[in-house]
A and B are shown apart, each in its own frame.
Chain A
């Protein structure tokens, strides 16, 4: 309902916010996962250092890939809203499919279509629960 949600207008600044949010989620989640992996695969006594090293090697990369995905998704979503001039879950689903396809474009048409399908399904699930 309109009164309950603080309205988030679709503007360009929201794309920056989404990129930042996605990067943060990727970086922090990746940090946790790689810290645990790093501590587990280090010798006794050097566990913390091993974990920290694994984090510093891997967390920026994971944050970056999440940020690319989130940024592309947000940009496509904004474009869809701009073209259709209404707010729908369909915008997000098509944007998810477009992002998936775009990111696998270099592997050829078949891989791109498969990624597009998966991206669209993933966002349909997310938006369906909403």
Chain B
């Protein structure tokens, strides 16, 4: 989640100087405990995430862990769902005449489950590699633009097909880099031209 750096700069001069803006919340230290103390809302805490260093609060970027889990999760889910859909179609296609309903359902479940699982696993691995490489490139190069995505796509394609030989890895890497670049460029085009 992006940080909210708007109000953090004034806070680094003095420790408790939060009262200028209304981005504070009242905090009662005893609110989660049941103690026989008549406590009240004593403190005003900032509602935005608190950072120790000003430069860290300015970065509006996901952390590498969030990047990793989000990309892997969406990749796995997307792959599973599309695999299951394809599996349902192929299961329906394999119906034989004289199948009972139970048998039909079993067929559909088996094929959709199998295809969903394999696709989900493969796309999940691709997502994991892509997220890992992109986070690594961003951490090393300290920039986050189209080229990090392209390099991450290159790397993912190359590693994915590394077992099949150098030439296959190079081709897959090029395809991956192109795909990543296309996705990023497409996202920018959509943001600019499509009214949502």
Docked-complex contact A19 and B32, CB < 8 angstroms:
no
Greatest chain B CB density within 10 A among A18, A19, A71 is at: A19
Interface membership of B68, Cβ < 8 A: yes
10 closest A-B pairs by CB: A20-B73, A20-B72, A60-B121, A20-B69, A16-B73, A64-B121, A19-B73, A17-B69, A21-B69, A23-B124
Give bound CA distance, A19 to B127, whole Å: 12
Contact of A111 with B by CB under 8 A = no
- Assuming the A-B contacts A2-B32, A16-B74, A52-B163, are A24 and B121 also in contact, with contact meaning beta carbons closer than 8 angstroms in the complex? no
Q: 11 A-B Cβ contacts within 8 A?
A: A15-B73, A16-B74, A18-B69, A19-B73, A19-B77, A20-B68, A20-B75, A21-B69, A52-B162, A63-B125, A64-B120
Give chain A nearest CB distance to B173 CB in angstroms: 17
Q: Which residue from A1, A2, A63 sits with its C-beta under 8 Å from B124?
A: A63
Q: Quick one: CB contact mask for A113-129 with B, threshold 8 Å, 1 for yes?
A: 00000000000000000
- Contact residues in B for A61 (Cβ distance below 8 Å): 117, 121
- Chain A residues within an 8 Å CB radius of B56: none
Tell yes or no: A59 within 8 A of B by CB. Answer: yes
Chain B binding surface, main DSSP class: helix
Nearest CB of A to B128, in Å? 5
Judged by a CB distance under 8 angstroms, whether A84 is at the interface is no
Nearest CB of A to B89, in Å: 21
C-alpha spacing A21/B124, complex, angstroms: 11
CB contacts between A and B, total, < 8 Å: 77
The verdict on A104 contacting chain B, using a C-beta distance below 8 Å, is no
Q: Tell me the bound Cα distance from A60 to B80 in angstroms.
A: 13
Residue-by-residue, is B47-68 near A (CB-CB < 8 Å gives 1, otherwise 0)? 0010000000000000000101
Contact A53 B70 (CB under 8 A): no
Out of B27, B45, B76, which one reaches A23, CB within 8 Å? B76
Interface string of A99-118 (1 = CB under 8 A from B): 00000000000000000000
Task: Indicate whether A27 sits within 8 Å of B74 (C-beta atoms), given known contacts A3-B27, A20-B69.
Answer: no
A residues less than 8 Å from B117 (CB atoms) = 61, 64
Hey, which bits of chain B sit against chain A, CB under 8 A? Answer: 27, 31-32, 45, 49, 66, 68-77, 117-118, 120-122, 124-125, 127-128, 131, 162-163
A interface, over-half SS: helix
> Does chain B have a CB within 8 A of A56?
yes
CA distance A27 to B73 in the complex (A): 13
With A24-B72, A59-B125 known, 6 other A-B pairs at CB within 8 A are A1-B32, A2-B32, A6-B49, A23-B72, A24-B128, A52-B162
B181 to A: closest C-beta gap in Å:
23
A38 to B45, CA, bound (A): 54
Bound complex: CA of A27 vs CA of B69, how far in Å?
12
Whole-angstrom distance between the alpha carbons of A107 and B6 in the complex? 56
A20 near B70: Cβ-Cβ < 8 Å: yes
A20 CB contact (under 8 Å) in B32, B45, B74: B74
Contact indicator B124/A17 (Cβ below 8 Å):
no
